[in-house]
Chain A
Amino acid sequence: MLPSFYVNSILILKNSDMTYFRKILPVFLLTVLAFVNGPAHAIITITITEGGEGGTPIAISPFKWQGKGKVPTEVSDIVTADLRRSGRFSPLAREQMPAEPYRDKDVVFKEWRLVKATALVIGYVTPVKPDLYRVEFRLYDVFRERQLAGYRYTVKADRLRTVGHQISDLVYEKLTGEKGAFSTRIAYVSQERSADKKRLYRLSVADSDGANPQTILSSVEPLMSPAWSPDGKQLAYVSFEKKRSMIYLQDLKQGKRIRVASYKGINSAPAWSPDGSRMAVTLSKDGNPEIYVINISKKSLQRLTFNRAIDTEPAWSPDGRHLVFTSDRAGGPQIYRKPVTGGQAQRLSFEGNYNARPSYSPDGQKITMITRRNGKYNVGVISLADKSMEVLTDTRLDESPTFAPNGQMVLYATERKGRGVLASVSADGRVRHLFTLTEGDIREPAWSPLNP
């Protein structure tokens, strides 16, 4: 069925006042064309498919609600779900808890040791005034009988989920030594069929747990390749709304956007430099797909590859000094690396005859990409130290792999029971998740930077 808001939400672009981003690259702000916090009726469900057992036992005592009626958001439920989903922790069920303390002085460590909880989280939520709440939480090491962290937040109701994710990040970091990525967001493309069988594409952004999905753009023509700016405030993407590929940048809060590449031929594969000043893209304006670097503020264009083969899918090294990309200059697609200042391209992938769409781990030590094995397209990880490759999946049609911003997981798109879904696998291969949409296909995940 076609919900009534469809009629309003299908993007209609008026191009009369738009000028292309040509040699001098003039930038025109377009207003009201793209969505700001638009509705997205398809909901993401995340399930652990492997490795849900065996995490460190932890107790998250239900946060005490000190107001009247029902609490707007059960913050401790969000923390519990986040930590369980990470696969690193096994939160105690409520009925296994010996007590439900919420103040420092109520904690009796001995009773938590008896149920084998290594860490304990307590807290409460208090209404301060209409639509303003105070959340306080403390994290304890049960064996050393010591507080590891304690914070207080005062927020509006719509930020209580965010507080939950921040608490999860703090707990995760204190207990594992690694940064948590629960406060991050995920951008993705989804495709549905409207009542008249036409395809409808949406570019959406949701919290890392799938909550709060918001469509920022919808179109009856394909949308592709979302890429986050390093400050998490903008998305670059490719839209076919003009019947061919063009690259846009869109501000997430205000919904304003600019078109940065609409040259003859392909305009694709945008990737932001780590400092946010430049963008690597693939353009075929000079005859075949080559990689270029756009300086966003100077509005200049620099060509980086010179080759009759396909060069595409650029990604920056975290230090901003190199680009990795896909090229079929040696016959089939393989991964290459080149200094951003130019110079010789170095081949990085040698196993198999199809390796494509590379992207770096946040520490710059590894590269994830799609590799073909026995006719299947799987997620691989190359270690740059010894060039060895590890294949992390055994599905058939994997695409678009990307490291979580804390490096703990690889998120990718795949096909399951005929539908497009997202999946993730922990860097050690132990924990696996499935992200499904209530309707339609979901693909091309892009994980936001930490603390957007």
Chain B
Amino acid sequence: MKPYQKLLLLFVFALALNACATKPEEAVQPIGEEAVVQGAAEEGALAGEELGADGRPSVMRVHFAFDSSSVDSDNRETIEAHAAYLTANPSVNIKLEGHADERGTREYNLALGERRAKAVVQMLAVLGIDRSRMTDTSYGEENPLDEAHNEAAWKMNRRVEIVY
């Protein structure tokens, strides 16, 4: 087993324990060699559960509540992980791409997507990342991850993509 895989397992184990402690109603996945944290990408919350080969955080999106551009605590962990990576790699720049779900009007949603992207820029700036290293853009509701017309799809689509 490679060192980073051990680290990964440790993370998974710690997260699973944490889940047990705080949310006893959630099922805990059995942990073995192929252990995967289910639904991590969807929740967009579990920063550091896996490390990319280059050490970059693997969670590349943060999700938002309906009609909201505020960054919740789970998202904060993701953003902090990116801030740590960017601090360690000062030559790397990123793009924050804001998206909205399909409900409501298109041009207003374009503005909402931008507001979300700027909220992430702002948080990264507070964490010490120079604004000149970040650009933001919005696709509004034009680029959904899931094209279904239901709550699950909408939750998936309200997001900011972190693009390196």
Residues in A whose Cβ lies below 8 Å from that of B149: 396-397, 415, 418
CB pair B114 A224 closer than 8 Å? no
Residues in A whose Cβ lies below 8 Å from that of B136: 265
CB pair A266 B110 closer than 8 Å? yes
Question: Interface 1/0s, chain A 274-291, versus B by CB < 8 A?
Answer: 000000001010001100
Stretch touching chain A among B40-48, B49-57, B126-134, B138-146: B138-146
Secondary structure at the A interface, as helix, strand, loop or mixed, is strand
CB pair B105 A326 closer than 8 Å? yes
Residues in B whose Cβ lies below 8 Å from that of A265: 114, 136
Give the total number of A-B pairs whose CB atoms are below 8 A apart: 80
CB pair A266 B105 closer than 8 Å? no
Count chain A CB atoms within 10 A of each CB in B107, B115, B136, B143 and give the residue with the most.
B107
Asked if B161 is an interface residue, CB under 8 A from chain A, the answer is no
CB pair A313 B114 closer than 8 Å? no
- Identify which of residues 348-399 in chain A touch chain B, using a CB-to-CB cut-off of 8 Å: 354, 356-357, 370, 372, 377, 396-397, 399
Asked if A250 is an interface residue, CB under 8 A from chain B, the answer is no
Of B102, B114, B148, which contacts A289 at CB under 8 A? Answer: B114
Stretch touching chain B among A61-69, A228-236, A240-248: A240-248
Of B102, B114, B142, B148, which contacts A266 at CB under 8 A? Answer: B114
Given A240-B139, A244-B137, A418-B149, A400-B110 contact (CB < 8 Å): no
Nearest CB to that of B103 among chain A residues? A377
Residues in A whose Cβ lies below 8 Å from that of B94: none
Asked if A218 is an interface residue, CB under 8 A from chain B, the answer is no
Nearest CB in chain B: distance from A222 CB, A:
4
Given A222-B143, A418-B149, A356-B114 contact (CB < 8 Å): no
Asked if B111 is an interface residue, CB under 8 A from chain A, the answer is yes
C-alpha spacing A265/B139, complex, angstroms: 11
Asked if A76 is an interface residue, CB under 8 A from chain B, the answer is no
- Identify which of residues 60-100 in chain B touch chain A, using a CB-to-CB cut-off of 8 Å: 67
Given A244-B137, A245-B138, A312-B102 contact (CB < 8 Å): no
Given A243-B137, A397-B149, A310-B105 contact (CB < 8 Å): no
C-alpha spacing A352/B107, complex, angstroms: 20
Asked if A184 is an interface residue, CB under 8 A from chain B, the answer is no
Asked if A333 is an interface residue, CB under 8 A from chain B, the answer is yes
Asked if A442 is an interface residue, CB under 8 A from chain B, the answer is no
CB pair A266 B138 closer than 8 Å? yes
CB pair A357 B105 closer than 8 Å? yes
Interface size on B, residues (CB 8 A): 23
C-alpha spacing A303/B65, complex, angstroms: 32
CB pair A225 B106 closer than 8 Å? yes
Of A224, A289, A400, A444, which contacts B111 at CB under 8 A? Answer: A289
C-alpha spacing A310/B140, complex, angstroms: 13
Count chain A CB atoms within 10 A of each CB in B111, B112, B118, B139 and give the residue with the most.
B111
C-alpha spacing A267/B140, complex, angstroms: 12
Residues in B whose Cβ lies below 8 Å from that of A396: 149
Count chain A CB atoms within 10 A of each CB in B103, B105, B118, B136 and give the residue with the most.
B105
Of B107, B111, B148, which contacts A225 at CB under 8 A? Answer: B107
Asked if B108 is an interface residue, CB under 8 A from chain A, the answer is yes
Residues in B whose Cβ lies below 8 Å from that of A312: 107-108, 110-111
Given A284-B114, A310-B111, A310-B115, A400-B139 contact (CB < 8 Å): no
CB pair B142 A399 closer than 8 Å? no
Residues in A whose Cβ lies below 8 Å from that of B143: 222
Residues in B whose Cβ lies below 8 Å from that of A333: 104-105, 108
Asked if A217 is an interface residue, CB under 8 A from chain B, the answer is no
Residues in B whose Cβ lies below 8 Å from that of A268: 107, 110-111
Q: Which residues of B contact A (CB under 8 A)?
A: 67, 102-108, 110-112, 114-115, 118, 136-140, 142-143, 148-149
List 13 contacting pairs A-B, 8 Å CB cutoff, sorted by A: A222-B143, A224-B142, A245-B138, A266-B110, A266-B111, A310-B111, A312-B111, A313-B108, A326-B105, A333-B104, A357-B107, A357-B108, A370-B105
Q: Which residues of A contact B (CB under 8 A)?
A: 222, 224-225, 240, 243-245, 265-266, 268-269, 282, 284, 288-289, 310, 312-313, 326, 332-333, 354, 356-357, 370, 372, 377, 396-397, 399-400, 415, 418, 444
